[in-house]
Amino acid sequence: GAVVSQHPSRVICKSGTSVKIECRSLDFQATTMFWYRQFPKQSLMLMATSNEGSKATYEQGVEKDKFLINHASLTLSTLTVTSAHPEDSSFYICSASLAGNTIYFGEGSWLTVV
Amino acid sequence: GDSVTQMEGPVTLSEEAFLTINCTYTATGYPSLFWYVQYPGEGLQLLLKATKADDKGSNKGFEATYRKETTSFHLEKGSVQVSDSAVYFCALSGDLGANNLFFGTGTRLTVIP
């Protein structure tokens, strides 16, 4: 079946630095990818919809200048957390949409900002 | 707004025990309901779904029935196996369909031999 790969699975970064998380669709072309985050004991929340070749669409309350999303090709979307702070520590997960509304998720990335 | 409330874990069961993971929802309109599963080291996978009231989704021995009167979609399995150890997420789709999913917090299930 379709596979979505996310990297890195765990990352620790210093406060004030930036960190990039990659989401790749390995065996299909994904014109649309989605980025979610989950704080401890809370639900997965949609952050943004990433469209290949155009700007991402951000959900209300998500800072577009802080969470930079780039979808440069049909198989790769990246999420860059800029000037990270400890409150950005969270679980980030991407998903990619295949024709027919089937959605495949990556493995998720644990970000810890110290 | 739309939301999903899911039974908190973790849940630890012995092999062949009966499993229930509760899920209730709040939604306008008529959402579709889903259970997703994440096995260790893997991405989320769709386990089963139901698109209208009284529908029963089933897969791999798991079942869940869309109950509109109680706004529930509880996940059940009659006899769990060690290989069922995973995190289970209840979700509903909003007005935009499968591209706009609301998730529960997830329930970690551990099955011991």
What stretches of chain A adopt beta strand conformation (E)? Answer: 4-7, 10-13, 19-25, 32-38, 45-51, 57-58, 67-73, 76-81, 90-98, 102-105, 109-113
Alpha-carbon span A27 to B12, nearest angstrom: 36
Contact B98 A93 (CB under 8 A): no
pLDDT for A80 equals 97
Q: Is B3 on the interface with A (CB under 8 A)?
A: yes
Residue B43 banded pLDDT, cuts 50, 70, 90? low
CA distance B48 to chain A (A): 12
pLDDT higher than threshold 60 for residue B22:
yes
- What pLDDT is recorded for position A52? 84
Whether the CB of B10 is below 8 Å from some CB of chain A: the reply is no
Rounded CA gap, A15 and A83, in Å?
7
Per-residue pLDDT of chain A (114 residues; tens, 9 = 90+): 568 899 999 999 999 999 999 999 998 888 888 899 987 767 778 899 888 888 899 988 999 999 999 988 889 999 999 999 999 999 899 988 766 556 788 888 999 999
Q: pLDDT confidence of B78, banded at 50, 70, 90?
A: very high
Q: In 3-state terms, what secondary structure has residue B18?
A: coil
The per-residue pLDDT for A25 is 92
Q: What is the pLDDT of residue A99?
A: 64
Mean pLDDT of chain A: 88
Taking the CA of residue B104 and the nearest CA in chain A, the distance in Å comes to: 5
Asked if the Cβ–Cβ distance from A34 to B41 is below 8 Å, we say: no
How distant is the Cα of B91 from the closest Cα of chain A, in angstroms? 9
Q: Work out the pLDDT band at B94, boundaries 50, 70, 90.
A: low
Q: What is the DSSP letter of A59?
A: P
pLDDT the model gives residue A101: 56
pLDDT of residue B95: 57
CB within 8 A of A111, min separation 6: which ones?
A11, A13, A19, A21, A81, A84, A88, A89, A90, A91, A92
Confidence tier at B44 by pLDDT (50, 70, 90)? confident
Taking the C-alpha atoms of residue B86 and residue B55, their distance in angstroms, rounded to an integer, is 25
Question: Is the confidence at residue B91, as pLDDT, over 70?
Answer: yes
> CA nearest A32 in B: which residue?
B99
Does residue B62 sit at the A interface (CB-CB below 8 Å)?
no
pLDDT value at residue A72: 83
Q: Are A95 and A34 in contact (CB under 8 A)?
A: yes
Residue B91 CB neighbours (<10 A):
25
Q: Are A48 and A54 in contact (CB under 8 A)?
A: no
Q: Residue A33: closest CA among chain B residues belongs to which residue?
A: B99
- Whether the pLDDT of residue B18 is over 90: the answer is yes
Is the pLDDT at B6 greater than 90? The verdict is yes
Residue of A nearest to B106 (CA): A43
Q: What is the pLDDT of residue A2?
A: 63
pLDDT at B81 over 60: yes
